[in-house]
Amino acid sequence: MRTRIEVAADSVFGPDNLPYGVFAPRGRGGRVGVRIGDHVIDLAATLEDATFARPGLAVFMAQGPERWREVRDRVRELVDGEIDSAAVHALSEVDVGLPVRVGDYVDFYASIDHATNLGRLFRPDSEPLLPNWRHLPVGYHGRAGTVVVSGTEVVRPHGQRGTDSGTPDFGPSRRLDIEAELGFLIGVGSPLGSPVNIDEFGDRIFGVALINDWSARDIQAWEYQPLGPFLGKSFATSISAWVTPLAALEAARIPLPEQSPEPLPYLQETERWGLDIDFTVAWNGQPVAYPPYARMYWSPAQMLAHLTANGAATRTGDLYASGTVSGPEPDQRGSFIELSWGGTAPVLVNGQQRTFLEDGDEVTITATAPGPNTARIGLGEVKGRIQPARSR
C-alpha cells in the first residue's frame, strides 16, 4: 500500500530539509531514516539498501559527496510522490538515538562576541581578546565518549573548585552552564600527515547538528590554567538527533564578517562564507537568548583547515563544534555565564531570578536557517535536564 506524506507548507522539516538520523520503531532495532514533517522514512526499506539497516550513519557518511547527492535526490523524488506506507513512521511512535558514534571531538572558540564577553569578564583591566585570537581558530580537544544524544539527562559533575583561601575543595559544580553551538560531522576522513585544504570542506563534511557543550564554570576556572579545559567540559556534550546535510543549507550561506588582520594563506578561502542560522535558547521552557550564527568570526572551513594544519588525521564520524554562538546584544548571548554576566546580573526565568543551572532545570536549544523557498529549515533541537550530583 502506498501513501503520500502530507507536510504543512510552513513546516521547518519540509522537502527542502530532509535531515538524517537514527530511529527505532517500537520493538525493532535502530536504522537510518530521514525526517519529513512529523514522520520518519525508513531508508533501508524504501531504497532496499543495507547501508541504512544499521544504527548509525557512519557507513553512508563515508561514501562521499556523490553518494550523498544521489540519495538526497532519490529521497526528494519519493517525498514528492507516493511511498510505501510500511516505510513511513510517525515521529511520535519511534525512538531516536545518537546519529553516529563520535570518534574525535574538537571544540572551537570562533565567536568574537563570546570571546570578547569572556575576556571582559575574566580580564577586565586588559584587552578582551588575547594576541593570537584573530590569527587562528582557538580550540581544544574534548571527550568523544561523553557525547550524548538530545534528551539524555546530565548529572551534575564533581570536581575541584577554587576558594578564596587559595586551596581548592572538591564537590559538585555550583556554576553549571550551557554553550549553544553548531557542530560539523566529518564524512570523508583524511590520512595522518595530510592537512585538509580549506577548499575541500564540501568534500569532507557530511552535515551539521546542534550542540550543547555543558560547562562547569567553577571547575573550569580552577583547572584550565595552564593547559585549558578538562573536567569542567568533559562530563557531557549533547548533540541533536537529526543531522542537517550541507545541501539543505545552500540558501543560508552568507559572506563571512571582515577578518582583520588577513589570515595566513592556509586559512584563506576561495569563497569566504559563513552561515545565517538563528538559535533560540530556552530555560525551563522560556526563551532567554537568541544567538546569531551569522556573527561567527571564523568559518566552518577555516576551523577544519586549522584542525588538520599539523597533519592530524580525521575519520568518519569525527565531530568539531563552533564554540559558543553569541552576538553583541545582551539577549544574544549563548551561555549563561554571559547572559548573567558572571552571576552578577540574574536572568528572570518563569518569575525567578536565576544565574546558573539548578537541579531539575531543562535547557532546549533550537535553530532555523533560510530555505530555498519561503519556509525556513529547522535544525531540530538539543535538549537536556540536570540531575543531582551522585553521592561519592
Sign of the Cα pseudo-torsion (224, 295, 318, 56, in order): positive
89 flagged as catalytic: no
What pLDDT is recorded for position 356?
Answer: 98
Please name the CATH architecture into which domain 2-97 falls: Roll (2.30)
pLDDT, one tens digit per residue, over 140-157 is: 999 999 999 999 999 999
105-387 folds as: Fumarylacetoacetate hydrolase; domain 2 (3.90.850)
Q: Which residue has the cell 532519490?
A: 74
Cell, residue 360: 531539575
CB neighbour list of residue 391: distance below 8 Å, 6 or more residues apart = none
First to last CA, the chain: 56
- Tell me whether the CATH fold assigned to 2-97 matches the one assigned to 105-387: no
How many percent of the chain have pLDDT more than 70?
100
Contact, 181 vs 325, CB < 8 A? yes
Kindly tell me if the per-residue pLDDT of 202 is higher than 80. Answer: yes
Contact, 263 vs 251, CB < 8 A? no
Q: Does the N-terminal peptide bond of residue 226 adopt cis geometry, omega within 30 degrees of 0?
A: yes
Among 39, 89, 114, 306, the one annotated catalytic: 114
pTM of the model: 0.97
Domain map (residue ranges) of the chain:
2-97, 105-387
Kindly tell me if the per-residue pLDDT of 229 is higher than 80. Answer: yes
Nearest-CA neighbor of 179 among 227, 206, 145, 140? 140
pLDDT, one tens digit per residue, over 319-328 is: 999 999 999 9
Kindly tell me if the per-residue pLDDT of 139 is higher than 90. Answer: yes
Kindly tell me if the per-residue pLDDT of 266 is higher than 80. Answer: yes
What pLDDT is recorded for position 1?
Answer: 84
pLDDT, one tens digit per residue, over 326-380 is: 999 999 999 999 999 999 999 999 999 999 999 999 999 999 999 998 789 999 9
- CA dihedral (280, 282, 286, 289) in degrees, to 10, reads -50
